[in-house]
Amino acid sequence: MSVTITAADINKLRQATGAGMLDCRKALTESNGDFEAAIDWLRKQGQKVAAKRSDREAKEGVVLAKTTADNKAGIVFCISCETDFVSKNADFVAFAQSIMDAAIENNVKTAEELNEVSVNGAKVADLINDKLAAIGEKIEIVKFERVEAPFVASYIHGANRMGVLVGLTQEAAEAGKDVAMQIAAMNPLAVDESSISPETIEREKNIAIEMIKAEGKPAEMAEKIAMGKLNKFFKDNTLMAQAFVKDANQSVEGYLKSINADLKVTEFKRVALG
């Protein structure tokens, strides 16, 4: 059964990928309206689509990142609003900061737990509702992430528009900040190759093979060339393999080893406004 492709569907795909209107219509038609499959269809045609990342959901708001006093844990979250007029308001930023302070003080693990925490005798959930009523915009905690490690570094970029947490195997404040800045700038998918799901690897491999076949190369060559493209994917999208932004002659892994052979990243979280 055919699916009706609406102008709204086409525009949504265009916004997510940067592809042209006609290409988006074709992709959705070929994929029977499946949005994810349409993105893959575009990529198989060799189109360089914009990265589809969840950190584009919140259009305006405040992103904060903070660690506990002992740097054993950190929290990063986004409190969203509807306009930049509100997000840039000093009172709103202070409001978000008071919630972050409560989150750290109470060592909360989830957004749901944070909503129940009290700030000056009132629950966070109630404070958010009160703020909503006062300014007339929808306000909510739309993203909440937590990292625990022997040492956690935090970093806020661009006037509270992005926050990063990095877990390290040992104390290394300067390296933690450098790696957090790397994550902010380069937006890796995972720490290393082993951290990427088998499903994602298979998907990237299949897309590469289809692209190679579309170029007219023999099928027996496709597998070998696809592995080369997959290695390039790992180099571009895994933190340890990426070129270090402060010194492109070494990888992030090489930078960490230059400080201490045992220094490693255990995990990271990156939250950004779209």
Q: Which residue do the tokens 């305006």 mark?
A: 60
pLDDT of residue 1: 54
Write out pLDDT tens, residues 139-182. 999 999 999 999 999 999 988 999 999 999 999 999 999 999 99
Say which CATH number the domain at 41 has: 1.10.8.10
- Shared-domain flag, residues 38 and 79: no
Domain that holds residue 22: 1-52
Residues 106, 119: Cα–Cα separation, whole Å? 11
Structural domain ending residue among the three candidates 52, 69, 93: 52
Is residue 44, in this structure, part of any structural domain at all?
Answer: yes
- Shared-domain flag, residues 83 and 97: yes
Residues 146, 242: Cα–Cα separation, whole Å? 24
Q: Which residue do the tokens 């400080």 mark?
A: 259
Structural domain ending residue among the three candidates 15, 33, 52: 52
Residue 149 near residue 72, CB atoms below 8 Å? yes
Of 175, 174, 177, the closest CA to residue 165 belongs to 177
Write out pLDDT tens, residues 18-69. 888 899 999 999 999 999 899 989 888 887 776 544 443 457 999 999 999 9
Is residue 214, in this structure, part of any structural domain at all?
Answer: no
- Shared-domain flag, residues 112 and 174: yes
Q: Average pLDDT for residues 101-117, to the nearest whole number?
A: 95
Residue 125 near residue 113, CB atoms below 8 Å? no
- Shared-domain flag, residues 63 and 188: yes
- Shared-domain flag, residues 35 and 67: no
What is the pTM for the complete model shown? 0.76
- Shared-domain flag, residues 60 and 40: no
